[in-house]
Structure 1
């Protein structure tokens, strides 16, 4: 007898993951396809959207090859908010512009903020000010810098909606993703805000809106032939990966805070009512009726991967062991994790990574420990800002690849002073997508699917030391901001000269 399963697929920044999950939440099997983003110019981070469908098709074929399963629904998620512009036939016109790590539209952010009545006006309507995370300025950048491509644009997609279209032929976007298309979405009315959307969309047809767990459509004959998924299988609309991660651990009750350990670090706090602050993003939740206050760091796991490459590719267990030996404070090192600018709460695309306190006595373990502590200090900065904005934290749940080891999560708990729930499954977004798919055709319980496995308690002995380090962390950004901005301007100028040189 064949297992009935849901297929969950997530397109992340560094890989696409696929998973088959049984009705009781147990994982039958999974697979991964690694990929890389393109950085054609400082501040530009892109990816060919065609890769998303290619990898999805390969993953589906691999997972379904044994023929021992019956796929009863398909769940989707992906990094975002991204901007994939296509023509009327849904053919990509250029690589997708990625989420807040792509900082190209700073000029458009400034101009649009002025044109639309200032930050307070936008914040009131949309729940967030304009930042590098927002889709609207990216559209404005295309209109100004690639006018022919923009003029040919007829549809916009994000990874989940792109996969959904390829599977079903249905054009739609989930409400959460739409809420990050600032300033085109009204967060109170839960619909496109025509006056501002019309000013930005050109000839683009804005997608109809659905909840992430709604059934988008069913697998078409062409998609069935390409992927091996049976014709007529239900496909959910899907959403952005961090919100699918929150679904995977049941973090959608008021007071829940999900911390996602990945290439970037993401935090989602479920709140009782829409909250507004310039320093975070107010969004629609992934579950009907929920609202979130969210934050995201531009780098976290990306720094540890970068360091690993610089160190000659030792294994991560080796580096973690050395970092643990280094101990709290990394023998007097302090790092700012702004290696790709920073998103929340400082909203500074021209911030830069900094390592303070280096001496000839420091080891790679010290530097690696400082990187882990830097991301933890960034989490504390975001948590502090969330609470000051009116958020409430009753429960912190960790998820993502970085949550699988003990040291990183322990450092975050020690630095923030908050215990963390470590769930049984930390797979993340693909698992959340599979759960949403199962929910579309049944009534599964995430508490049964993914119960807690342990609680990571903060070490009270380290509280004073990390309080002092956090004060220095805050001071270091203020002290180096002007220098970092000057160096960032030089980087952009040199890159521009190189790009224009014949």
Structure 2
């Protein structure tokens, strides 16, 4: 097996990553290509779908060039992608619109309307709370506003579906991506009839739902040459980044829970039964014929640190005074503040919020600031606030499935020892860490190996996840966070003036 490799292609919010793995999970090489989020109007968040497809091509090609691995040694490519994107396509499958992504909140009014008119039965079928992140709410906005690309569209696709259409000519959608639309029946694995009727659309205008092991063949010689792969290289559709990140750290057992923070953040569990929250605080998506993922996402993860970077920048107020602090310098400052940030709490709703409050109009706030507080307290409070938001979701998961059996961490925040310690302390539980933070890519790669019969099971990935030292909670810190969460939870639900 040592001379055979697999690629995980992870299409994210701000970049696409191509990662080359040994079968044992060791990372041989990785390549990241970034792209911008476009904001043509307030509350809009879009991306150029062709730019993302080209970034995916570039990432794979450069990865192959820099690792010097023979194309014949690559067994397959597995695909991971961020959730909730939607593109209007014409009859020739060309984009009529940009990809409208999860961070877009233009359909807040429609989400509220749908919540009132459809209620809990619809949520039980789809497993997805009503929120402007979902394509269902976005499509409802398009229909109500007579959005020209919607009126002219022949079909609709997520960014992953669009890539598969261009590269293989098949319009298919994996179960997890379909679930993230907010209009997919997770029991029957079909597009929801009531949703289609409301939109006055047909199921033929959306991708054919397929399991994550669905394999695409028949890449053109020209495309294969662009990618540096053989035309016979199979691509496996995989799933969304959430469940794949859980798989990629080996969190496949009942009660295994994963905290992920990248641009946004999430806390999730895989299970062999649907765990739909009747109070609509969390989501439940189907992953494959037997597996579901439950949990909740926050809009505000690493993007909070980026906001702090801009907040504390000095922009030429005096000659030669321009200065933007690095992420590392911000984190070092935060270490100067104790657990609890000297009494400062931060609601991290800079970009609205998903779980568990599902309020696209929510806004963030520092609470408890006084003359004695300084930058370290504000930075530490912001780091703690992002973990509080995930702990808030975790309390709902705990109601449904009990205390996490094992707690894992992955994503960009796993590079910060301080942020990881805050998470371990707040959950008051040992935090397990994989060596690679490319867990979604490894999950996608493993699904491709499983689809081709190269590995015996999904659960077998546990033996192929290189781990590093875990983080143990500090009891005194845990007690501080237990007390502070009581105030955080009250603030999160009782500050209407923070709604825009």
TM-score, normalising length: structure 2: 0.91
**Partners of 1:76 and 1:433 within 8 A in 2:** yes
Find the aligned partners of 1:443 and 1:422 in 2 and give their Cα distance: 23
Q: 1:341 to 1:57 in 2, by over 3 A?
A: same
Find the aligned partners of 2:254 and 2:388 in 1 and give their Cα distance: 24
- Structure 1 counterpart of 2:111: 109
Residues 4-34 of structure 1: per-residue CA shift (max 9 Å, x gap)? 3222111211221111112232211111112
Greater mean alpha carbon deviation, residues 241-250 or residues 276-285 = 276-285
- Structure 2 counterpart of 1:440: 451
Match 1:470 to one of 474, 481, 485:
485
- Structure 1 counterpart of 2:215: 215
Residues 354-373 of structure 1: per-residue CA shift (max 9 Å, x gap)? 01122344332221111111
Gaps of 5+ in 2: 314-323
Q: 1:2 to 1:219 in 2, by over 3 A?
A: farther
Find the aligned partners of 1:53 and 1:128 in 2 and give their Cα distance: 27
Cα deviation, residue 121, structure 1: 1.8
Cα deviation, residue 200, structure 1: 1.8
Cα deviation, residue 412, structure 1: 1.1
- Structure 2 counterpart of 1:90: 93
Find the aligned partners of 2:294 and 2:403 in 1 and give their Cα distance: 10
- The root-mean-square deviation of aligned C-alpha atoms, in Å, is 2.2
Find the aligned partners of 1:149 and 1:317 in 2 and give their Cα distance: 43
Residues 152-207 of structure 1: per-residue CA shift (max 9 Å, x gap)? 2122222322222222221100011111222x321221222234324325366121
Greater mean alpha carbon deviation, residues 307-316 or residues 401-410 = 307-316
Find the aligned partners of 1:110 and 1:32 in 2 and give their Cα distance: 37
Cα deviation, residue 225, structure 1: 3.4
Find the aligned partners of 1:137 and 1:102 in 2 and give their Cα distance: 11
Find the aligned partners of 1:127 and 1:153 in 2 and give their Cα distance: 27
Greater mean alpha carbon deviation, residues 292-301 or residues 127-136 = 127-136
Q: 1:256 to 1:201 in 2, by over 3 A?
A: farther
Find the aligned partners of 2:474 and 2:286 in 1 and give their Cα distance: 32
- Structure 2 counterpart of 1:310: 311
After superposition, residues 24-43 of structure 1 pair within 5 angstroms as 24-43=24-43
Find the aligned partners of 1:414 and 1:193 in 2 and give their Cα distance: 42
**Partners of 2:175 and 2:288 within 8 A in 1:** no
Greater mean alpha carbon deviation, residues 156-165 or residues 288-297 = 156-165
Residues 365-410 of structure 1: per-residue CA shift (max 9 Å, x gap)? 2211111110111121111122224455211111111112211111
Greater mean alpha carbon deviation, residues 460-469 or residues 301-310 = 460-469
After superposition, residues 357-372 of structure 1 pair within 5 angstroms as 357-372=368-383
Cα deviation, residue 454, structure 1: 2.4
Find the aligned partners of 1:371 and 1:180 in 2 and give their Cα distance: 28
Q: 1:97 to 1:87 in 2, by over 3 A?
A: same
Residues 52-107 of structure 1: per-residue CA shift (max 9 Å, x gap)? 111011112211225432222111111112112211222111111112x3221122
After superposition, residues 130-149 of structure 1 pair within 5 angstroms as 130-149=130-149
Find the aligned partners of 1:13 and 1:40 in 2 and give their Cα distance: 17
Find the aligned partners of 2:185 and 2:403 in 1 and give their Cα distance: 24
How many residues end up aligned between the 2 structures?
Answer: 481
Cα deviation, residue 298, structure 1: 0.8
Gaps of 5+ in 1: 489-502
Find the aligned partners of 2:92 and 2:251 in 1 and give their Cα distance: 38
After superposition, residues 312-331 of structure 1 pair within 5 angstroms as 312=313, 313-331=324-342
- Structure 2 counterpart of 1:279: 280
Q: 1:291 to 1:19 in 2, by over 3 A?
A: same
Q: 1:420 to 1:287 in 2, by over 3 A?
A: farther
After superposition, residues 140-159 of structure 1 pair within 5 angstroms as 140-159=140-159
Q: 1:359 to 1:76 in 2, by over 3 A?
A: same
1:352 maps onto 2:363 in alignment: yes
Residues 200-242 of structure 1: per-residue CA shift (max 9 Å, x gap)? 2536612111112321334233421332221121011122112
- Structure 1 counterpart of 2:120: 120
1:186 maps onto 2:200 in alignment: no
- Structure 1 counterpart of 2:302: 301
Find the aligned partners of 1:306 and 1:134 in 2 and give their Cα distance: 24
- Structure 2 counterpart of 1:334: 345
Find the aligned partners of 1:307 and 1:347 in 2 and give their Cα distance: 24
Find the aligned partners of 1:229 and 1:146 in 2 and give their Cα distance: 43
**Partners of 2:246 and 2:269 within 8 A in 1:** no
Q: 1:127 to 1:402 in 2, by over 3 A?
A: same
Find the aligned partners of 1:479 and 1:392 in 2 and give their Cα distance: 27
Cα deviation, residue 3, structure 1: 4.4
